[in-house]
Amino acid sequence: MIPVASVIRGAAVAAALGLVALLPNAAHAAIDCRAPADAFDRTVCSDPGLSALAAEVDAYRSTMTGIAWRRGLRERDDAAMARLRRDAGQNPAAIRQGLQARLAALRTENGWFSTHGLEEAPERRLRSTCLALPSSDGAAAQRRSCRVAEFGTLGTVDGRRFAFALYEYPPDPTGEIPHETAVLVFSGGQPGEWTVDVAERLTEASCMRPRLVRHGQDTLLYLPCAETGTAGGPIPLLYRRAGPATFRIWQDIDAEVWLATLPPRLPLGLENGVTALDPERMVATFRLFRGDTPAGRGEARLAIDGERLVLQDVSMLPATQPGLSR
């Protein structure tokens, strides 16, 4: 399904970034010119220049799994590619301009990893100084001040030491930039130095100390974050230690996709409220409502299926069962 040229070019770019071991999971985004999916793909495949440019974009997209803030990069790039497909249509000039813009953006964002102290940063620096992390709120948010709210160690996994930091970005006096927070997880490198493994910069949210959790044969990394405000709920950020023994990474687990399968499993007339994930037990608890009236509590038993959580079964809990605050 993947053009050989795309894989080879992707391998070359990934190797330059030290990420070649990640290609098999990420290269699926490439356009398949043997069976173009739509008019956009057919236009690209009919022009050798556009095909080569698209392959180069796909190569950079394939490296995102190894970038510390892969969730933000992936979401921004997916949204940009969707806009390009929608707006450029079958216009070769517009497609070329859009792909060139994507390539420039990806080169810049991928370059952050090596140019902003994210590899082998001294611990003394990490305890007091925020690393520069991309923000989805643009250049103004990128320039805002930041403080290290907490730094600490997490433990050892696969023979590697891990630490964390929590960042807080003070409110903007003008009120134009929303509150932001960030949570980072580092792996130990040289003595006294750390490398960023995971970084999440979130808007209108707060985070607590990350947790290393054992569930069966899996080692999980759980970032307990939540939306701020009275209507806010948990933001489940979950990772699993994955990969061959010679190259282990934190694999992003989609911890929310299972929610789409929950409503049909509830008693007729009931709706679920905010869910709270317990990754060690692999269950999520939630309040039940009939309209605006509380109607008890429920518990969903979950399982890891590839890169996502899936719903196994649902049970109703006694009304007095401790659980969510709302």
This prediction has a pTM of: 0.66
User: 241 and 158 in contact (C-beta within 8 Å)?
Assistant: yes
Question: Helix, strand or coil for residue 262?
Answer: coil
- Cα of first residue to Cα of last residue in the chain, in angstroms, is 47
| Interatomic CA distance for residues 242 and 321, integer angstroms | 35
For the record, the structure tokens of 33 come out as 């010119």
Q: Which residues contact 278 (CB under 8 A, 6 or more apart)?
A: 284, 285
Question: Which tens digit of pLDDT belongs to each residue from 24-60?
Answer: 333 334 688 888 888 899 999 999 999 999 988 888 7
| Interatomic CA distance for residues 253 and 255, integer angstroms | 6
- AA letter at 302: L
Of residues 282 and 60, more confidently modeled: 282
- AA letter at 149: A
- AA letter at 41: D
Least confident of 2-11, 61-70, 199-208: 2-11
| Interatomic CA distance for residues 320 and 276, integer angstroms | 16
In the predicted structure, residue 185 carries a pLDDT above the cut 50: yes
- If 0-12 CB within 10 Å is exposed, 13-18 middle and 19+ buried, where does residue 74 land? middle
Q: How much is the average pLDDT of 244-256?
A: 83
In 2-133 the beta strands, taken as DSSP E runs, fall at 121-122
Q: Predicted confidence band at 211 (pLDDT cuts at 50, 70, 90)?
A: very high
Q: What's the pLDDT at 79?
A: 82
Partners of 293 in the beta sheet?
A: 290
Q: What's the pLDDT at 112?
A: 59
Main-chain dihedrals φ then ψ at residue 264, nearest 5 degrees: -65, -15
Of residues 188 and 110, more confidently modeled: 188
Exposed e or buried b per residue across 204-233, where buried means at least 16 C-beta atoms within 10 angstroms of its C-beta: ebbbeebebbebeeebbbbbbbbeeeeeee
Average pLDDT, the chain: 79
User: 166 and 223 in contact (C-beta within 8 Å)?
Assistant: no
Partners of 236 in the beta sheet?
A: 224
| Interatomic CA distance for residues 324 and 321, integer angstroms | 9
Treating both helix axes as pointing N-terminal to C-terminal, what angle do 70-88 and 92-115 enclose, rounded to 10 degrees?
A: 170
Q: Among all chains, which residue has been given the structure tokens 């250049």?
A: 139
In the predicted structure, residue 72 carries a pLDDT above the cut 70: no
Q: Predicted confidence band at 324 (pLDDT cuts at 50, 70, 90)?
A: very low
What's the Cα-to-Cα distance from 104 to each of 60, 63, 252, 315, rounded to whole Å? 10, 15, 25, 50
Q: What's the pLDDT at 26?
A: 34
Q: Which residues contact 91 (CB under 8 A, 6 or more apart)?
A: 43
Question: Helix, strand or coil for residue 277?
Answer: strand
Q: What's the pLDDT at 81?
A: 87
Question: Which tens digit of pLDDT belongs to each residue from 3-15?
Answer: 222 222 232 333 3
Main-chain dihedrals φ then ψ at residue 174, nearest 5 degrees: -80, -15
Least confident of 24-28, 93-97, 195-199, 263-267: 24-28
Long-range contacts of 157-161 (CB under 8 A, 24+ apart): 157/212, 157/219, 157/241, 158/219, 158/241, 158/245, 158/248, 160/187, 160/188, 161/187, 161/188
In the predicted structure, residue 176 carries a pLDDT above the cut 80: no
In the predicted structure, residue 267 carries a pLDDT above the cut 60: yes
